[in-house]
Chains A and B, each alone.
Chain A
């Protein structure tokens, strides 16, 4: 059986520590030094599986700029943005 098309930039699960208000403080053990952007996607509510993602663009202490999101099940994912 041939594999189907490969999904690019698919989110992958990631370990995130977050503060009381849900703001990430560390990603996979690396400290977050700044939240650069924060945005919400609440869409596809008309489809059987609605989309709810709370995105953060973070600057980590090692200088990396990464995007993570928390889904409706409160699980964290990393996504290339």
Chain B
């Protein structure tokens, strides 16, 4: 041990979740800087940050000590029992113990204790009241509990752990003394002594500079003497610097849900919990030098190394026959898949090489385990889809990520892309020098994944499998809300600022957001200045623990011996306390079972096509060269298409002009932070254009050594593995070194490591005769790539799904739209924009209707009046031989109506199927079992219009779809008074009464006739639509506003006829706004009007002037210069204004009900009297 007089044995990181204000890495760096040779991390009830801390400490030359501050609870007590009791086996209420790991057995025990501490935290706690309540016999329920163990549990798992008696305020011993119960404190200390023994129990002294510190420590020292155990000093560190201590205060207020002012008793009151140097700490405890010396003695004993002593094994890792078994499986499948293929010989050679590598690395069991999982998924898929489903022909899931490059994965079913044909190479995924477990990621439709995850727990044991944790970190918006509340700033202003700040806003920009939202004068107020500073400090710190989207770890021995396992928020799921980086560092086998919305949508589309057309679609057999599909892709008509629907992709497609799957593979990978920051995008587009114009064009390369590895991407680095390949080709890196570089770039914590790789890269390149300037340019591209990028194999998998979804969009348009609407939320566009885009393509949509809609959206044959529609078979299916393409329309489901209960809608549809169509609102109310609230919501959504009778002389609203036809009325009109009348009748009808077990049906009493009600008007209809379903199928709001906006305003389709460089004014609903981190402050907006969409580019100075309008306005008007380039049109904006409701009222018919208060999307429909 070095000569530091003091070792810190009690410190909290931000992984104590709102009770610690520094990352483990910040603590490790600060500990090294202040000269600590060893340092303990003891977060509350967890080791969430311990692996990061251990690795960071090693990097800084500090020996990490693993531990936790464990909460010990008293048994349930009546509120009338005294709080303090001198004869306790348990401390009064919950109290803390500091546990430090001495050896591997101690670590196992700590993991088990922490697992037990969390085991009840997601249960609904039932408290039986011991005092009279208003409702006799009723149980009072409270929210999920806090983690805690009993002392008996501690006693059971005390081996290998050193116990310190706890912190000054909440510690098991000191806390009891502070609450005026010295006898209880002493009794509890004696109990701990009996559990841990003299060797492993210490009385903990702290000096937080609170009043009574000295008295408490004198008393504790006396107690230690009486017990015959040493005292040990600790700092109870909560931040790595004094500056960060302010954030710690604010976090405490946030945790308690109150303000800084009101949380004063629970805050620390000063900055002494910031990390101090060993010398300063020794001085702080000058009255207790023995307690200081004890920190060093104890630290010497605490030698457990988390980075080396876990003893983790995955199932199958010890199977001696695994190599043979895997080779057998692959050989059999190769014969099938490559029978008669020109690639067979190459495939055999690839397989032999991969199996040799797998054998050398001892990973055969790893592949067999994945195969076993896929077989399990197959069983689950069959169960979920049902054997008769059109989806039954589809595989249960698909591979993604670098594993798609492996022929072993292809042959074992873990990938659906032939890596030989697609020229994918597994170096990134699998190589002889690999030092960590390869990643195999599998995508599943959401419904299959939901069932599969608990089934994995069943297969491998609930104690041997768990999901990986994820830690949502503070972003500007959340930080502004949490910290603004702590600072007691006005809630309305906080909300205004929160809505103005962007997701990727850097801390330096928050000040400008605050000024934009509330004005410079208010922003200069002291409270707001403080908030701006605190928000910057909080960014990136974990706020709470969550679950990874699908990462699972599986172990041969109980997982809770290697990492605590805690219940996840979703019932039946559990998570380990480490995120994917820590699991990776721990060498865990991590399997990603990911839910992919588009895969679900594609399956829904296949199923809907089967239901509506009686066709069984096999997507693996569709033509991969469909001209119409590629034409639509090149024209950027890709709304709703996987991966290539974003505004940025749509800008790119007319310029890159993809012709085949290889091109789509590049396309998917191109619009990513890696290639964008690495400067690959524009050279790639330009070179494709030059090649189109001149096939003899010679692609330039930075150096001839790079040509073999960058040929597919025309000399640019687009794929992740090209970083590795470029480093190997140009600088002679080994594959392990190159993989190390990639991993260093993928983690924020590795900047120092990246610098080291830079020097090796330049030196290696010089050794191969590459000029330094060239090496630096290539390094700049590589470093630019350090943002997120796809491996080629992943892009190939996604590119195929992009093509399949584009093909479905063309050939099964209504079904595809229907599937997208049913799988929301997903993709880039909200349902309203998807519906409008589809209407512009001629796809017809019909509003929710209690007599036609199902719970989900579905496609159906249109009803055009007797004899006018397509012939049907009576179950919404067109009869065989009907003209189908474009003949179906999408009926919005009743489940789309906001706020309705799904089970009520299911019952409504089931009753309709059973007893026939509802005659009127009274019949519906009587038979369906829907409550009044549900009926009113349906009425407001227009779903009951058809159940009301038209009033004598009733007018018709100009409600019509963009395609020029309303589906339920030949005249394209909708009864103007329908919604209000339906709402009135729903209010007057007798509805069923809900009970715990079901609904008691009401008598079918006739409702009195509705009085004369004023029609809603076009605006009223639109507002009701947005309020009830989030989308309008009637006239576009911009069409309703158009007359009042002035003739100078251009429509979206006018832009095609306006000259490049002209100044234009446009207006529309904001469909999307993005401020990518890679775009240097530029904001991209997508506006929608009644004819189409308009791309706006908002440069930083304009954004700075109009931040509030750009970030928050639902409808805007923009002025700027039209820019036309290679088939794309943008407006480079110079000014943005918000469209006000006053402008709308100028065009609205008199008497309509919308107003400022209701806004564009009222939360809940309000009955109109």
CA distance A38 to B216 in the complex (A): 12
Are B214 and A42 within 8 A (Cβ)? no
Select from chain A the residue with minimum beta-carbon distance to B212: A37
- Which chain A residues lie closer than 8 Å to B270 at the CB level? 39-43
Tell me, in angstroms, the Cα distance from A57 to B487 when the chains sit together: 32
B272 close to A (CB within 8 Å): yes
Q: A37 is contacted by which of B213, B260, B530 (Cβ under 8 Å)? A: B213
Rounded to whole angstroms, the CA-CA distance of A39 and B209 in the bound complex is 4
Nearest opposing residue in chain B for A48, CB measure: B526
- Chain B residues with CB under 8 Å of A45's CB are 246, 249, 530
Q: Are A39 and B211 in contact (CB under 8 A)?
A: yes
B269 touches A41 (CB 8 A): yes
Q: Is the CB of B269 within 8 A of A42?
A: yes
The reply on A10 being an interface residue by CB < 8 A is no
- Chain A interface residue count, Cβ-Cβ cutoff 8 angstroms: 14
**A47 pairs with B526, CB closer than 8 A:** yes
Shortest CB distance B729–A (Å) = 55
Interface string of B191-223 (1 = CB under 8 A from A): 000000000000000000111111100000000
Chain B, range 153-212, C-beta contacts under 8 Å to A: 209-212
- The residue that B269 contacts in the complex, of A38, A40, A46, A47, with Cβ under 8 A, is A40
- Whether A46 lies near B260 (C-beta < 8 A) is yes
Contacts of A40 in B (CB 8 A): 209, 269-270, 272
State how many angstroms separate the Cβ of A59 from the closest Cβ of chain B.
12
Q: In the assembled complex, which residues on chain A have CB atoms less than 8 Å from the CB atom of B211? A: 37, 39, 55, 57
Q: Indicate if the CB atoms of B530 and A43 lie closer than 8 Å.
A: no
Are A37 and B214 closer than 8 Å at their CB atoms?
Answer: yes
In the complex, which residues of chain B have a beta carbon less than 8 angstroms from the beta carbon of A55? 211
Interface size on B, as a range, is 20 to 34
The answer to whether A38 and B209 touch (CB under 8 A), given A43-B264, A43-B270, A45-B246, is yes
Which of the residues B210, B246, B267, B487 comes within 8 Å of A39, measured between beta carbons? B210
The one of B214, B249, B530 that contacts A38, using a Cβ cutoff of 8 Å: B214
State which residues 17-74 of A face B: CB under 8 Å.
36-43, 45-48, 55, 57
Give chain B residues whose Cβ lies under 8 Å from the Cβ of A46: 246, 260, 487, 526-527, 530
With a cutoff of 8 Å between Cβ atoms, the chain B residues found around residue A47 in the complex are 526
The residue in chain B whose Cβ has the minimal distance to the Cβ of A81 is B211
Q: Is B485 an interface residue (CB 8 A)?
A: no
Q: Name the CB-closest residue of B to A49.
A: B526
Q: How far is the CA of A47 from the CA of B526 in the complex (A)?
A: 7
A-chain residues with CB within 8 Å of residue B267 when the two chains form the complex? 43
Contacts of A38 in B (CB 8 A): 209, 213-214
Classify the interface of chain B: helix, strand, loop or mixed: loop
Quick one: which of B248-283 are within 8 Å of A by CB?
249, 260, 264, 267, 269-272
**In residues 972-1012 of chain B, which contact A (Cβ within 8 Å)?**
none
Q: C-beta contact mask, B206-250 vs A, less than 8 Å → 1, else 0?
A: 000111111100000000000000000000000000000010010
Cα–Cα distance between A39 and B211 once the two chains are bound (Å)? 5
Name which residue of chain B comes closest to A36, CB basis: B214
B215 and A37 within 8 A (CB):
yes
Residues of B within 8 A of A37 (CB): 211-215
Q: Which of A36, A42, A48, A57 contacts B271 (CB 8 A)?
A: A42
**Within 8 Å CB of B272, what residues of A?**
40
Q: How far is the CA of A37 from the CA of B215 in the complex (A)?
A: 8
- Shortest Cβ gap from B445 to chain A (Å): 49
Closest chain A CB from B209 CB (angstroms): 4
CB A38 to nearest CB in B, in angstroms, measures 7
Q: How far is the CA of A38 from the CA of B211 in the complex (A)?
A: 7
B30 to chain A, nearest CB (A): 19
A36 to B215, CA, bound (A): 8
**Which of chain B's residues 604-635 have a Cβ closer than 8 Å to chain A?**
none
Interface-central residue, B215, B267, B269, B527, by most chain A CB under 10 Å: B269
* Per-residue interface assignment for chain B, residues 514 to 527, with 1 indicating a CB less than 8 Å from any chain A CB and 0 otherwise: 00000000000011
Q: CA–CA, A41 to B272, complex, Å?
A: 10
Closest to B525 in A: A48
Greatest chain B CB density within 10 A among A38, A46, A48, A55 is at A46
How many angstroms from the CA of A42 to the CA of B267 in the assembled complex? 11
Smallest beta-carbon distance B533→chain A, Å: 10
- Select from chain A the residue with minimum beta-carbon distance to B486: A46
From B527, which residue of chain A is reached at the shortest CB distance?
A46
A55–B272 CA distance with the chains assembled, in angstroms: 14
- Chain A's closest residue to B250 (CB) is A46
A36 to B487, CA, bound (A): 35
State the CA gap A43–B487 with chains docked (Å).
Answer: 13
> Bound complex: CA of A21 vs CA of B249, how far in Å?
28
B215 to chain A: which residues have CB within 8 Å?
A: 36-37
Chain A residues positioned under 8 Å from B526 (CB to CB): 46-48
Q: Give chain A nearest CB distance to B135 CB in angstroms.
A: 44
- Within the complex, the shortest CB–CB distance from B629 to chain A, in Å, comes to 59
**CA of A41 to CA of B268 in the docked complex: distance in angstroms?**
9
> Which residues on the B side are within 8 Å of A57 (C-beta)?
211
The CA of A57 and the CA of B211, in the complex, are separated in Å by 9
Docked Cα-Cα span, A36 to B264, in Å, equals 24
Please provide the chain B residues from 486 to 504 with a CB less than 8 Å away from any CB of chain A in the complex.
Answer: 487
- For residue A37, give the distance in angstroms from its CB to the closest CB of chain B: 5
Closest A residue to B283 using CB positions: A21
Query: A43 vs B209: C-alpha distance in the bound complex, in angstroms?
Result: 13
Distance in angstroms between the alpha carbons of A48 and B256 in the assembled complex? 24
Q: Which of B209, B246, B526 has the most CB of A within 10 A?
A: B209
In the complex formed, the residue of B with least CB distance to A45 is: B246
- Which residues of B lie under 8 Å from residue A48 when comparing CB positions? 526
- Contacts A37-B211, A39-B210, A43-B267 known; 13 new A-B pairs at CB < 8 A: A37-B212, A37-B213, A37-B215, A38-B213, A39-B209, A40-B209, A40-B269, A41-B269, A43-B269, A45-B530, A46-B260, A46-B527, A46-B530
**Contact sample, A vs B, 28 pairs, CB 8 Å cutoff:** A36-B214, A36-B215, A37-B212, A37-B213, A38-B209, A38-B214, A39-B209, A39-B211, A39-B270, A40-B209, A40-B272, A41-B269, A41-B270, A42-B269, A42-B270, A42-B271, A43-B264, A43-B267, A43-B269, A45-B246, A45-B249, A45-B530, A46-B260, A46-B487, A46-B527, A46-B530, A47-B526, A55-B211
Measured CB to CB, the residues of B under 8 A from A are: 209-215, 246, 249, 260, 264, 267, 269-272, 487, 526-527, 530
Interface residue ranges, A against B (CB under 8 Å): 36-43, 45-48, 55, 57
7 nearest A-B residue pairs (beta carbon): A40-B209, A40-B270, A42-B270, A39-B211, A48-B526, A46-B530, A39-B209
